[in-house]
């Protein structure tokens, strides 16, 4: 199985895609099996926190996972998504092949071929797959929620102390305990989940 760090690296990365590959993410392709497969892999990976099997993708996209349906999904993945570098194929064993997205944020680019050599130019904004399909552990969301909780509770504690609702001793004990917990949460968010908080909470 992939490590949590590997999954986070896939979220932080912005992958450049040529127009012919970026089209699979656009609204025009909503009805295409290719886009359905992309979104299915994304959702399933978030649930399982790891690469997913062909049968699971087929079940999610088509609603059936017999051999014919699996072949259809495999061909679609191999003909388009693997070639474009949108999906990675991982072979765990001879009979255990799984798929995972290479990234969750994509930049459409136009390749320019000039006498100076090849270069690329970004087109439009970065496209993000829905955040609720990003493979992020429950712990991260819980840390975000707790961070908010401790920040708000400390505000209340200060305000209650200013209004003489609690004695000084109790205020200082609680202030120290809550601050310590908040510091521990921030430390973990900054180390293990570095860069992720800004991405997740930004609009």
Partner 1 sequence: MMKFSVLFGLVLIGIFFTTVSDGLAYGQFSNQNTLKVSFENDILPSYEIPLVSGQTFTLSQNHSWVQDETSRYNLVSYTLDGETVKISRTARGDFTLSIPTDSSHNVVFRAVPQYALSVEGTNDFSYLPSSPTNDNWFDAGTAVSVNVQKTTEIESNKVRQEITGWSLDKAEFWNVEDDGSTSFTTPPITLNEYHQVDFFTTYQYKLNVISDYGETTGSGWYEQGVTVSIGVDAGSDGLVLNSVSGWEGADVEYDGNVAQVFIDGPVTVSAKVEKNYSLVAGVVIIPILIVGFVGFRKFKNRVPVIVEEKPVERIVEKVIERVETPEKKYKDGYDETLSKYLSEQIQSKLDEMKSSNIISETKYSKIKESV
What residue ranges bind partner 1 (CB under 8 A)? Answer: 1, 3-6, 43, 46-47, 91-94, 130-133, 138-139, 141-142, 144-146, 148-150, 152-153, 156-157, 160, 164-167, 170, 174, 177-178, 180-181, 184, 200-201
Closer Cβ to partner 1, 1 or 126, answer by number = 1
Task: Say how far apart CA 97 and CA 82 lie, in whole Å.
Answer: 14
Closer Cβ to partner 1, 32 or 174, answer by number = 174
Collapsing DSSP states into helix, strand and coil, what is residue 165?
Answer: coil
Task: Say how far apart CA 154 and CA 123 lie, in whole Å.
Answer: 45
Helix and strand totals (H; E) in the chain:
8, 6
**Phi, psi torsion values for 126, nearest 5 degrees:** -70, 135
Collapsing DSSP states into helix, strand and coil, what is residue 13?
Answer: coil
Q: Residue 105's Cα: distance from chain center in Å?
A: 8
- Provide, rounded to whole angstroms, the least separation between the CB of residue 156 and partner 1: 6
Closer Cβ to partner 1, 3 or 121, answer by number = 3
- Provide, rounded to whole angstroms, the least separation between the CB of residue 36 and partner 1: 17
| ∠ CA 74-79-81, rounded to 5° | 80
Closer Cβ to partner 1, 124 or 169, answer by number = 169
> Whose CA is closest to 124, among 6, 3, 17?
17
Q: Name the DSSP letter for residue 155.
A: H
Closer Cβ to partner 1, 69 or 189, answer by number = 189
- Provide, rounded to whole angstroms, the least separation between the CB of residue 53 and partner 1: 16
- Provide, rounded to whole angstroms, the least separation between the CB of residue 72 and partner 1: 26
- Provide, rounded to whole angstroms, the least separation between the CB of residue 43 and partner 1: 8
């Amino acid at each position: 199985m992939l490590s949590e760090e590997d999954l986070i690296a896939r979220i932080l990365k912005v992958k450049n895609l040529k127009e012919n590959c970026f089209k699979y993410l656009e609204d025009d392709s909503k009805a295409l099996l290719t886009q359905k497969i992309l979104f299915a892999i994304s959702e399933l990976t978030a649930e399982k926190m790891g690469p997913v099997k062909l049968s699971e993708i087929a079940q999610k996209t088509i609603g059936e996972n017999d051999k014919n349906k699996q072949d259809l999904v495999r061909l679609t993945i191999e003909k388009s998504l693997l070639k474009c570098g949108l999906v990675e194929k991982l072979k765990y064993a001879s009979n255990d092949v799984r798929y995972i997205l290479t990234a969750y944020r994509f930049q459409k680019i136009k390749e320019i071929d000039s006498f100076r050599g090849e270069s690329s130019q970004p087109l439009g904004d970065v496209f993000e797959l829905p955040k609720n399909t990003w493979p992020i552990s429950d712990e991260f969301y819980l840390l975000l929620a707790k961070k908010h909780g401790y920040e708000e509770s400390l505000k209340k504690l200060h305000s209650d102390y200013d209004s003489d609702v609690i004695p000084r001793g109790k205020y200082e004990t609680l202030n120290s305990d809550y601050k310590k917990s908040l510091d521990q949460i921030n430390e973990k968010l900054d180390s293990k989940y570095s860069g992720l908080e800004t991405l997740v909470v930004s609009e």
